[in-house]
Every structure is written in C-alpha cells, then in structure tokens.
C-alpha cells in the first residue's frame, strides 16, 4: 500500500505530565544535570514525537488522492467545454444554451456591467479551469507508485525517540548501555530502562508490546541512526 509522505509537523500532549517526567529522570539518575528549562524542552520533544506518529497514521493512500485529482481534472475540463458555447467554433445545442444562459444571468450580478463583460469573465474562467485541469493530471502522474517499506517507515518516529534518549545520556554523562543476556535473553542496561520509562508517556498504540520488542526496536533504531550518521559524515 503506497501512501503520501508526511507534510508539516504536529505536537500532541504526552499521557503523563512534566511532574511525572521529573520523577522518571530522578529514577534514571539524570535529573541533577537538567535545568527546569531543559526538562520542559525534553517534554516538548516527546510531544513532537507523538505528533509525528499521529501524522504517520493519518497519511493518505496514493490511490485516493489520484482518484480525486482525476475527477477534479475531468470536472474542470467538462466545465471548460460547456462554458464555451457562446464562443466561435462548433458547439452543441446544449453547450450554446447553457453558456448563453449563464452569461445572461452573470450579467445581472452587481459589478458586472454588461453581457459582453460576463462573457469575458466566463472566457477567463475557462482558460484557468483548463490550466488547473492540466496541472491536476501532472500532479496525478507525479504521485509515488512504489510500495514503501512499511516496517521501517512505520517506526521511523522511534528513531527520533531513541535519539532523544541517547542525547539525554550524553548530556548526563551516562553510558547508554543496551544488553541482552546470552543465556537468559533478558534485556537490561540504561538505554533499555530509559526507553521503557519514557514509553509510558507515549500513546498506548505506540508502546512496545513486550520488553523484548522494546529492545529490538532500540537495536534497529540505533543501527539506522549510526548508518545515517555515517552517510552524513561522507556527505560533508
């Protein structure tokens, strides 16, 4: 299923307040290095991440946009055709009757001084309608047609969530460890604990369904973030 890219930005209030965030930061032993302003900024960043997730959920399918562009182009072309009934050239009796009647009543509106002026207005509208109809078809042809990688895109917001935690660890001078017991398979480490604590501020649909899922998300996000950093360094 192909969807349009996200346009713009949005924010949404986390499910818990700033007072709860301060308690979480204390539990993670990083509260002493953050000023009240920094805590508030961290809270706003969480709100932005939730907003990004919400925009992803609302993205339109390309097929529905393509259908609307096509129907708009057809309607504008049809209007442009039928409104040309009073102009020179071959026209059907229906086109002549409709265009002439529209011009007749348009001439009665305040600000329209004559039938000739009404016809000029209609001619100008016809040209603009035809031009917009053409643009609609161009826009339709330019829509993405490749199916996207749903898993990677669907959790792109989690990369920003992970980056937020890594930045917090860096400011606090904490090693953002992420471990998995070789024998037990149990996840641990500061980054894992921080992710689970901060996920409580996210909408329930955004949260990892299990501790292992949370660890897996962090692993994948960290790989993507490292890859992005390498690409950026090569581009400089």
Considering only CA atoms, which of 151, 162, 173, 177 is closest in space to residue 222?
162
Tell me the average pLDDT across 99-117.
Answer: 91
- Choose the final residue of a domain: 86, 116, 141: 141
- How many domains does the chain fold into? 2
Domain that holds residue 113: 62-141
Look at residue 6 and tell me if it is in a domain: no
Give me the helices (H) in the chain, please. Answer: 18-27, 36-57, 62-82, 93-106, 115-141, 150-154, 156-172, 190-199, 211-235
Q: What is the pLDDT of residues 20-47, one digit of tens each?
A: 999 999 999 998 888 999 999 999 999 9
- Choose the final residue of a domain: 83, 115, 141: 141
Look at residue 72 and tell me if it is in a domain: yes
What pLDDT was estimated at residue 152? 46
229 and 156 inside one domain: yes
Q: What band does 66 get if pLDDT is binned at 50, 70 and 90?
A: confident
What pLDDT was estimated at residue 187? 93
Q: What is the pLDDT of residues 146-194, one digit of tens each?
A: 554 444 455 778 999 999 999 999 999 999 999 998 888 899 999 999 9
The mean pLDDT value of the chain amounts to 85
Look at residue 90 and tell me if it is in a domain: yes
What pLDDT was estimated at residue 170? 92
- Choose the final residue of a domain: 104, 119, 141: 141
């Amino acid at each position: 299923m192909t969807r349009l890219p996200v346009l713009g930005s949005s924010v949404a209030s986390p499910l818990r307040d700033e007072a709860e965030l301060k308690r979480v930061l204390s539990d993670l032993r990083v509260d002493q290095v953050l000023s009240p302003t920094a805590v508030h900024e961290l809270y706003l960043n969480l709100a932005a991440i939730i907003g990004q997730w919400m925009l992803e959920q609302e993205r339109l399918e390309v097929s529905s946009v393509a259908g609307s562009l096509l129907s708009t182009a057809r309607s504008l072309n049809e209007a442009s055709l039928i409104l040309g009934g009073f102009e020179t050239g071959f026209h059907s009796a229906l086109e002549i009757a409709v265009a002439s009647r529209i011009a007749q009543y348009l001439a009665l509106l305040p600000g329209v001084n004559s039938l000739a002026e009404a016809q000029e207005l209609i001619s100008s509208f016809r040209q603009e309608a035809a031009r917009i109809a053409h643009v609609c078809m161009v826009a339709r042809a330019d829509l993405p047609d490749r199916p996207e990688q749903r898993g990677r895109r669907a959790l792109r917001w989690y990369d920003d969530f992970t980056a937020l935690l890594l930045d917090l660890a860096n400011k606090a001078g904490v090693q953002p460890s992420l471990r998995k017991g070789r024998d037990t398979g149990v996840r641990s480490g500061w980054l894992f604990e921080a992710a689970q604590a901060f996920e409580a501020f996210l909408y329930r649909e955004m949260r990892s369904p299990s501790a292992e899922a949370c660890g897996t998300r962090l692993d994948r996000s960290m790989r993507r973030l490292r890859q992005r950093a390498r690409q950026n360094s090569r581009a400089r």
